[in-house]
């Protein structure tokens, strides 16, 4: 097993990161917050939304495969029932780093999809948020991370 800190560092070492579930209506969507923060912090995020041409002022793509030049990692921010399809597409494209976003509630975590990805050799972080770690973090997210580790919403190991 890998510590969450090491897995997060590996994930955030990538610059081209797809974020699924980014909405045209950003209010209350964690994916939008992740997308915007990654962009602000110098990452090159790609919004994945099959029902939008643009989000947050940037082009949106219907799938991971549609991103010109591909991506290196994926944040899943959709409902859990869409996670397996995203993990399968990522595997088919050779993407090995996946983060299933979860703050409060179930978030985007789908344990069968996480297990499937791990069985294929992928690193799947099932819970928490990339904004809690490294260059993408801020004080509020780091505090939430500490609390959420106690409740199991952020895994201690991946």
What are the pLDDT digits (tens) for 46-102? Answer: 999 999 999 999 999 999 999 999 999 999 999 999 999 999 999 999 999 999 998
3-state secondary structure at position 133 = coil
Whole-model pTM: value is 0.94
Q: Rounded CA gap, 40 and 73, in Å?
A: 17
Taking phi first (over 0 means left), then psi (-120 to 50 degrees means alpha), and beta for anything else, what does residue 107 get? left
pLDDT, tens digit, 9 for 90 and up, residues 105-125: 668 999 999 999 999 999 999
Sequence length of the chain is 158
């Amino acid at each position: 097993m890998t510590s969450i800190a090491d897995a997060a560092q590996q994930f955030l070492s990538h610059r081209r990161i797809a974020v699924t579930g980014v909405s045209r209506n950003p209010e209350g969507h964690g994916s939008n917050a992740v997308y915007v923060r990654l962009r602000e912090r110098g990452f090159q995020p790609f919004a994945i939304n099959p029902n939008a041409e643009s989000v947050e002022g940037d082009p949106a793509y219907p799938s991971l495969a549609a991103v010109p030049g591909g991506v290196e990692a994926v944040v899943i921010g959709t409902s859990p029932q869409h996670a397996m399809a995203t993990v399968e597409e990522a595997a088919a494209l050779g993407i090995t780093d996946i983060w299933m976003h979860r703050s409060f509630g179930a978030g985007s975590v789908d344990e069968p999809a996480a297990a499937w990805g791990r069985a294929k050799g992928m690193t799947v972080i099932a819970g928490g948020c990339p904004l809690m770690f490294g260059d993408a973090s801020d004080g509020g997210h780091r505090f939430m991370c500490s609390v959420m580790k106690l409740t199991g919403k952020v895994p201690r190991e991946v």
